[in-house]
Amino acid sequence: MTAFLRLVLAIALCGLTPAHAMESMRGILDAVRATPTPAAAPPEATATNVAAAATPVATPTPEPTVEPPRPSKGQQPPVVRVNVAAQAPNFMQPWRKNPRTIRQGLGVVLMDGRILVTAELVADHIDVELEKPDTALKAAAQVEVVDYDANLALLAAPSADFLQSIPGARLDESVSVGDRVEVMQLEPNGRPVTTPATVTTIEVGPYPVDENAFLVFKLSVPLQTRENSFTIPALKDGRLVGLVMRYSPATQTADLVPAPVIAQFLRAAAKQPYAGFPRAGLTFSDTRDPQLRRFASLPEGTGGAYVTKVLPGSPADAAGVKAGDVLLSVDGRAIDQDGNYEDERFGKISLAHYVSTALQAGQKIPIVVWRDGAEVTLEGTLAPRDRSRMISQPYIFDRDPDYVVVGGVVFSELSRQFLREFGRGWQEDAPLKLLYLDRFQSELPPDRGRIVFISGVLSSPNNIGYEGLGFEVVEEINGKPIRSLADVAAAVDNPEGPYHRIRLAEDPGLLVLDVDGSKADEERIKQQYGLESLRHLESQD
Amino acid sequence: MPHRALYLPVAMFILCTASLSQGAVAPAASMVRIEVTSQQPDYTSPWSPGSIGAGVGAGFVISGNRIMTNAHVVSNGTFISVLKEGDPNPWEARVLHVAHDCDLAILEVYDASFFEGTKPLEFGGVPALESEVSVYGYPIGGDRLSVTRGIVSRIDFQPYSHSAVDSHLAIQIDAAINPGNSGGPVMQDGKVVGVAFQGFRGDVAQNVGYMIPTPVAKRFLKDVEDGSYDRYMDLAATYFPLLNPAQRSALGLTDENGGVLVGSVFDGGASQGKLQPGDVILSVDGTKVFADGKIDMDGERVEMAEIFEGKFKGDKTELEILRDGKPEKVTLEMTRPWPFEMQAKGYDKRPRYVVVGGLVFQPLDRNFLETRKEVRPRMRYFFDNYVSDHIYRGHPEVIVLSDVLRDPVNTYARPFADNIVSKINGKEVRTLQDVAAAFAEEGQFHVVELLGEGRPIVLDRAALPEAEERIRQRYGVTNPQNL
């Protein structure tokens, strides 16, 4: 039984040829400073980031194109090298870290002196370093804002002087299908090399980290393997068109985080605290099926998208949109049978783009739906997605996972980041029950709370007999329902009598730990297994 | 069952004409060559009669003019003929009893004069480790009776691959057991000590063959004494060792009284209404259960489950339990819980289905699933955790929209294939009968709701009669349903 693969695109992009294998064939442009390509880059190391993409390039040199890559002349390009040391925590043993990785990318210097990169470049960073392409001068940088949904981050330079000789780039949001753009990379000596590219498709598609969909530009471009594998900028007449977030050497196509998404990110980043992109909180399907249209008594010839799900507590929910409604218009934009609206620049494109990228959080918008054979006008207030309500987080970066160890029994909260620890085949190999709960979390009761489970047992005298446990969902401890690790901590801090009674949702159903014995084991467990603390409750509220 | 995927039922894919033998080997007068024409049901087109195949296996004459062989030799058989040594004529036979859960079957020959000149074999006991045994059968490599010799390498509980879900005692021997050996007797001192039944593919392991030992064969014979086979009984509850001192004392146990913890109790089984999660089983039929789940049986430490191996339908089992710290006695009446069947391979039955407007509905089970190259996560969960997460309570049958037979009437329904059905025409779908009944409801549309899909599939009933006729002709759906 094989897994159902959600991101087919992601799979197409993986490759394993080591970067240095290509050196001999392409001496001139390739890495003198050969740095290993990040082996465990976040979050889908093998699949979705540009690191994996930049590595393979199975053919030595692309077929000669009409316009071969050429060194740029004249002015300094608006880029700076960004070198990141990163280390992700190990969600299986949450007190441990996975191996350190080094990632290198290009940052685009913006007009205000901040530096734009993809979020993947800086995920779980320990150290972020800027390096001037011409002088190789280095300085530490700060990550100011990061948005993993939109795969974008802003870095602050240590001082305005540092970037003095580098001009800032403006955004070009006017690009449309068929336009010629240039993808910029740097030679080892710092000279920019640009590769001509054509915008072939503009559509709403999945982004690497979550299953969020935003605008994507697809480029046809023969890119070569270079040391700066993350965040390759695409420019048009010196203006920023987008950042490459995925590259497929097989088809020579690159996916860009395009300028409209970058612009929306910069608008959101102007406000503190950063809240993210507005979302409506609903999913829809097309209404092309004439039988479905007759069933919903939709008049012939009209548009409308069939609402399939409304997230509880979302703006759509607050506005009163219900599953089974047909969306006729949003903010005055008519919705067609495919859920597209007519965009001035891109033509027909998914409503998801309009809501997330053209509108602003806090904005009130009219929503017209078809319900029971009549039009109903609702009003919604857009807001970013409230992740705290999610039962299983789709990603966790830049913080250590929470855990509680009681008598050597390790309690964790379910997240997709945990499931990904099962490696490339995690959708097959991770425990089926947990996979199911993560994947279909939107079908669980909204007040379910988080899913706490036993992620392992650190053998000690008091937990004898429990060695074989793993991945059982915890329902109750000492009579208290468990909806978070904070609940676990509170429940074990207040035992009734000499035992902790841990009730599991599945076999064997009941675990018992001796309260005093578990306490007595604590020091030994910390020392033997190298735990600094038996608890980490950073993200508990 | 870690090796489940590696098992290859020693099946029978060689077909040849009758063989003649003046064989002088010992049990020649008891040996039977079994030739079977079979029809494998086609779960991808459940209305189709299925593909026809043929195979050869072995069997041996036992008392009462009966022939014993493996269930997998005769499963899905449409025509069975048997040949005895020294007689060129095939005789038509039929299955008298079949036990898919322990891979055994008993055949009878329509014309009882077949048994003239044959000699029924007797069953012995469990052979000792390292003792020598002989395997008789008609394996690949020739037509005539073959005999191979080996020693008993291991006696242990093993998964029986024929049903994919059952485990019983099995004896491993180092004699070659190959396709065509299936059902043949394994002899020692002139008595049957086993029935050859499964092995590994040659690229997995060599000189590893398995035989069904006599306790299993004798149990089968005893079970069918009343004229029908009732299968193995089960506690229908999970239980766990109680080795943790805190866990023991919190449950009111001391070091002396052993006991195992009841985890889950499944519906439709002997324990339903009798045991509860959290109970501690202290003894079974007066035999003490140790904290590791083992019992003493005939001077040997064996799994507690072995007690249930010897039970028959309706037998009583006395349990001493501790519930909330208080000792209690419960009496179980043994039965086979129905939720277990869904994960077992099924034989000798036609696929069940309903087709409406080209939408094909089938119950999820192992036979159905084995036709799928890819199984979507929800279906994988519903199958694997059907028993353990008590999914059977809400879905006695998990009904899948398994296919959409392309037709103008269902053009837009195609992407929804391989989803689990929740409602049809507003009615909850819990069985295939529910599907048929829901489609019989009045209305302008048929509305099919699927788990996790927010948009229903809608079929305009006005367009259906024409479409049904078209689909019947194009796809050869001779019967719109088999419930």
Reported as type and span, the H/E element at residue B284 is strand B280-284
The pTM (predicted TM-score) of the whole model is 0.88
Write down the CATH superfamily of domain A278-384: PDZ domain (2.30.42.10)
The CA distance from B54 to B35, in Å, is 7
User: Cα dihedral angle (A293, A299, A304, A306), rounded to 10 degrees?
Assistant: -30
- Per-residue pLDDT reduced to its tens digit, A446-463: 889 999 999 999 999 999
Report whether CATH 2.30.42.10 matches the domain B237-333.
Answer: yes
Angle at B208 (CA atoms; ends B202, B212), nearest 5 degrees: 125
Environment class of B201 (CB within 10 Å of its CB; exposed 0-12, middle 13-18, buried 19+): exposed
A369, A327 Cβ separation under 8 angstroms: yes
Size of interface A-B (CB pairs under 8 A): 114
* A228 confidence band (pLDDT: 50, 70, 90): low
Tokens of A362: 């806090």
Greater model confidence, B144 or A308: A308
Average pLDDT value over all residues in chain A: 85
B21 is annotated as an active-site residue: no
Of the partner residues B238, B241, B454, the one whose CB lies closest to the CB of residue A323 = B454
Tokens of A212: 């969020």
CA B57 to chain CA centroid, nearest Å: 19
Options 1.10.10.10, 3.40.1440.10, 3.20.190.20, 3.20.20.70; CATH of B352-482: 3.20.190.20
DSSP 3-state percent helix, strand, coil across chain A (nearest 5): 20, 35, 45
Tokens of A189: 């000596």
User: Widest CA span of chain A, in angstroms?
Assistant: 80
CA B417 to chain CA centroid, nearest Å: 28
Q: Tell whether B276 lies on the interface with A, counting CB pairs under 8 A.
A: no
Catalytic residue among B101, B103, B166, B279: B103
The average pLDDT across B216-235 equals 96
Question: Which of B379, B392, B399 minimizes the C-alpha distance to B448?
Answer: B399
pLDDT at A388: 82
The CA distance from A207 to A48, in Å, is 9
Task: Calculate how close chain B gets to A85, using CA atoms only, in Å.
Answer: 36
The fold adopted by the segment(s) B4-226 is Thrombin, subunit H (2.40.10)
Give the start-to-end residue ranges of the domains of chain A.
8-64+77-269, 278-384, 389-536
Q: Mark A418-454 as b/e (b = at least 16 C-beta within 10 Å).
A: bbbbbeeebbbebbbbbbbbbbbbeeeeeeeebbbbb
The CA distance from A280 to A56, in Å, is 38
> Cα dist. B99→A123, B71, B166 in Å?
58, 6, 11
pLDDT at B26: 63
B72 is annotated as an active-site residue: yes
Verify whether the Cβ–Cβ distance B389 to A433 is below 8 Å: yes
Of the partner residues B241, B445, B454, the one whose CB lies closest to the CB of residue A465 = B241
What ipTM does this complex have? Answer: 0.89
Give the start-to-end residue ranges of the domains of chain B.
4-226, 237-333, 352-482
A57, A231 Cβ separation under 8 angstroms: no
B384 is annotated as an active-site residue: no
Give A438's DSSP letter: H
* A48 confidence band (pLDDT: 50, 70, 90): very low
Sign of CA pseudo-dihedral B11, B14, B20, B24: negative
Report whether CATH 2.40.10.120 matches the domain A8-64+77-269.
Answer: yes
The CA distance from A506 to B296, in Å, is 29
Verify whether the Cβ–Cβ distance B250 to A508 is below 8 Å: no
A224, A57 Cβ separation under 8 angstroms: yes
pLDDT at B458: 96
Report whether CATH 3.40.50.880 matches the domain A389-536.
Answer: no
Residues of A with Cβ-Cβ distance to B238 under 8 angstroms = 507-508
pLDDT at B178: 84
- Per-residue pLDDT reduced to its tens digit, B15-53: 222 333 333 346 889 999 999 999 999 999 999 999 999
> Cα dist. A244→A105, A118, A197 in Å?
11, 8, 12
The CA distance from A213 to B270, in Å, is 51
* A10 confidence band (pLDDT: 50, 70, 90): very low
- Per-residue pLDDT reduced to its tens digit, B139-189: 887 788 899 999 999 998 899 999 999 999 999 999 878 888 999 999 999
Rounded to 10 deg, the angle between the A432-439 and B377-384 helix axes is 140
Verify whether the Cβ–Cβ distance B381 to A3 is below 8 Å: no
Verify whether the Cβ–Cβ distance B262 to A509 is below 8 Å: yes
Verify whether the Cβ–Cβ distance B250 to A512 is below 8 Å: yes
Angle at B364 (CA atoms; ends B362, B367), nearest 5 degrees: 95
For chain A, report the end-to-end CA distance as a whole number of angstroms: 39
Per the DSSP assignment, residues forming a β-bridge with B66 are B62
Question: Which of A275, A385, A372, A257 minimizes the C-alpha distance to A326?
Answer: A372
The CA distance from A104 to A126, in Å, is 14
Helix (H, G, I), strand (E, B) or coil at A380: strand
The CA distance from A216 to A357, in Å, is 12
